[in-house]
Amino acid sequence: MTGAHDATAARRRGAIDRFLDVVERVGNALPDPTTLFALLALAIVVISGVAAQFDLSVAHPTTGQMIHPVSLLSIDGLHRILTQLVTNFTNFAPLGTVLVAMIGIGVAEVSGLIGAIMRMIVLRSPRALLTPVVVFCGVLSNAASEVGYVLLVPLAALIFKAAGRHPVLGLTAAFAGVSGGYSANLVLGTIDPLLAGLSQEAARIIDPTYVVSPAANYYFMAVSTFLITGLGWWVTERLVAPRLAAMESIEARTGSDAGTDDIVKPLSAAERRGLLFATVAFVILTALLLWGLLPEDGFLREPGTGSVLHSPFLKGIVALIFFYGVGLGVAYGVGAGTVKSDRDVIKGMSQQMSTLGGYMVLVFFAAQFVAFFNWTNLGLILAVEGAQFLKSAGLHQVPLMLSFILLAATINLAMGSASAKWALMAPVFVPMFMLLGYPPELTQTAYRVGDSVTNIISPMMSYFALIIAFVQRYLAKAGLGTLVSLMLPYSVTFLIGWSLLFVAWILLGWPVGPGAPTSLPVAGTAG
C-alpha cells in the first residue's frame, strides 16, 4: 500500500516537474527584461513605419477625430529620438518616485529597524496564532521585500522548529505572505508609486491630464491583507501541514541552521531602546500628519476646498514614505547604536541606491519604449481597436477583469519582474479599458492580483532559488517540484479567494483607493 502511494506521489511530482521544466525553458528563452525593452523600442520604430505606410488609421471613439500612425522611420522621427532620448528617461514618471521612496526605506532597512520589527512580532506571538502572524508579517514585509525573503522566511522556519512543528511549514507560510500576498499591505511600499507611474503614463495616451496616485489601490490592498492572512492560515493548517507530516524531515547537512540562529534570539537591550526611539518618532510624525489633515483648514488639505482626495497629502505620499523611513530609521539607529553620525545615514541611503543600478538601466529602455509607443499613436490605435473588439465580444466588466487577472497570472510564470510586465502591459490594456469605461486604478488592481498569486510557483521569481535552498535545509531531496507542490495550494486558493473579493468590490462599486472609482463615464475619457 505504501509503495503504491509512493509511486502515485512520484508520478504527481514528475508531472509537476515536467510542467515546470517547460515553464522554465520558456522563461529562460526570453531575453533579460532590459534587452527585451530595447528590442521592443526598436520594433516600435519599424512597426510605426509599416503602419504609417499602410495608413492604419482609426476614429477616436469620443471625438470622431481620425488617429493616424506616426512613423519614426523618417528624418523627423530620427530627430525626435535623438533630441528627446535623455528627457524620455529623466521625465519618466516612475523613476523619481521610486528613487525617493527607496532612499527613505533604505535608511529604515540598513539601520535594522525593519528586521527588528519583524523579529519582535513573530517572537512575541502566542503559539496558537503563530501561523497567521507569520503570514501577516510576510504581507507587511512587502514594503521592503528583501527583508521578507532574506529574514522572515528562514526566521519562520526556525520559530516553527522551536515550537515543535515542521520548519518547512513555517517557511511556506512566510513565503506565501511575502510573495503570494505581494499586492496586499497596510502600508504603501516602493512598488506602489512605480506601478502608479506606469499606469499614469499609459492613461495619458487617452487623457493627457490623468493622474494616478501611488495610493490608488490602498483600500483594496488593506482589506486584502486580512484576506490573504486568513487564506494563508487555512491553507497552511488544512492542506500543507498534512502533506508535510508525511514527508521525512532531515537536515541536509550538519549545522545547516548555523549563521541564522542569531535571528531567533530575543531582542537585545539596544534593539529594544531603538524600537522605543522609533516609536517616539512615529508618534511625533503622525501627530504632525494629523495636525495637517484633521482640521478643515489643515495645511495638508487642498487649499481653497479643504479636500483630502486632491490634497498635497495624497499627491505627496511618496515624500511621506521618505520622511517616515528616514525619521524612524534614524531614531531607531540612534537608540540601537547602529547610527552614530550623519555618515551612517548617508551610507544607508547610498547602499539602497546602489542596489538600483539594474533598475535604472531597465527604466532607461522602458522609458524609450513607452515614449515611442505614445509618439507613434500605436498605443491609442491598438486601444481603440481592442476596445471595439471587446465590445463586439460582449464581455462585461466582471468576466473581462477576471480574464485579465488570469492573463497576468499566466504571464507571471514566464516573466518575474512586476514592474517590467506592467511596463509592457499597461500601454495596451490601460487605455483599452479606459475606452470601455474602466479606470486605470481598477485595471492596475486586477493586474496586481494576477501578478501576485503565481509568484510562489514561478521559477522566474528572483528569490525562488533562495527559497529552494532554505527548504533543502530540512528536506534534503527537495527540488523545484517539491517547492511548487507545497506552494500550489496557496496559489490556487489566493487566486480564487482574491478574485472573489475583487468581483465583490466591483459589484458593490467601492473605490479601490482614494479617489479611484470602479468605473468611468465612457464619453468623458477623451483628453
Reduced 3-state DSSP string for 104-138: HHHHHHHCCHHHHHHHHHHHCCCHHHHHHHHHHHH
Tens digits of residue pLDDT in 55-73: 888 776 556 678 888 899 9
Any idea what DSSP says for residue 31?
A: P
Any idea what DSSP says for residue 58?
A: E
Asked, for residue 9, whether it belongs to a domain, the answer is: no
More confident residue, 29 or 120: 120
Nearest of 199, 216, 214 to residue 424 by alpha carbon: 199
Confidence band of 373 (pLDDT split at 50, 70, 90) = confident
* Residue matched to cell numbers 495624497: 314
Range of the domain at 406: 15-524
Asked, for residue 515, whether it belongs to a domain, the answer is: yes
> How far, in Å, are 60, 67, 299, 443 from residue 382 at the CA level?
11, 11, 43, 17
Tens digits of residue pLDDT in 390-429: 667 777 888 999 989 988 888 787 666 677 778 878 888 8
Asked, for residue 376, whether it belongs to a domain, the answer is: yes
Q: What per-residue confidence (pLDDT) applies to 253? A: 41
Count of Cβ atoms closer than 10 Å to residue 406 Cβ: 16
- Asked whether 230 and 133 are in contact (CB, 8 A), the reply is no
Domain total for the chain?
Answer: 1
The C-alpha cell that represents 364 in the structure block: 532607461
- Asked whether 421 and 455 are in contact (CB, 8 A), the reply is no
* Residue matched to cell numbers 503559539: 127
Tens digits of residue pLDDT in 342-352: 888 888 788 77
Residue type, 304: G
Asked, for residue 1, whether it belongs to a domain, the answer is: no
The C-alpha cell that represents 284 in the structure block: 511625533
Tens digits of residue pLDDT in 195-218: 998 899 889 888 888 989 888 899
pLDDT at residue 370 greater than cutoff 90: no
Mean pLDDT of the chain: 80
Burial of 297-308, coded b for 16+ CB within 10 Å and e otherwise, reads ebebbbeeeeee
- Asked whether 332 and 111 are in contact (CB, 8 A), the reply is yes
> How far, in Å, are 113, 180, 423 from residue 225 at the CA level?
21, 11, 25
Q: What per-residue confidence (pLDDT) applies to 258? A: 43
32-41, 68-77, 371-380, 408-417 — most confident range? 68-77
Q: What is the DSSP string of 248-291?
A: ----SSTTTTTTTGGGGSPPPHHHHHHHHHHHHHHHHHHHHHHH
pLDDT at residue 85 greater than cutoff 90: yes
Confidence band of 81 (pLDDT split at 50, 70, 90) = very high
Asked, for residue 5, whether it belongs to a domain, the answer is: no
Confidence band of 465 (pLDDT split at 50, 70, 90) = low
Asked, for residue 64, whether it belongs to a domain, the answer is: yes
Tens digits of residue pLDDT in 501-522: 999 999 998 999 988 877 776 5
State which H helix or E strand residue 426 sits in: helix 418-435
Confidence band of 147 (pLDDT split at 50, 70, 90) = low
Asked, for residue 155, whether it belongs to a domain, the answer is: yes
Percent of the chain residues past pLDDT 90, beyond the cut: 24
Asked, for residue 6, whether it belongs to a domain, the answer is: no
Q: Report the pLDDT averaged over residues 262-281.
A: 85
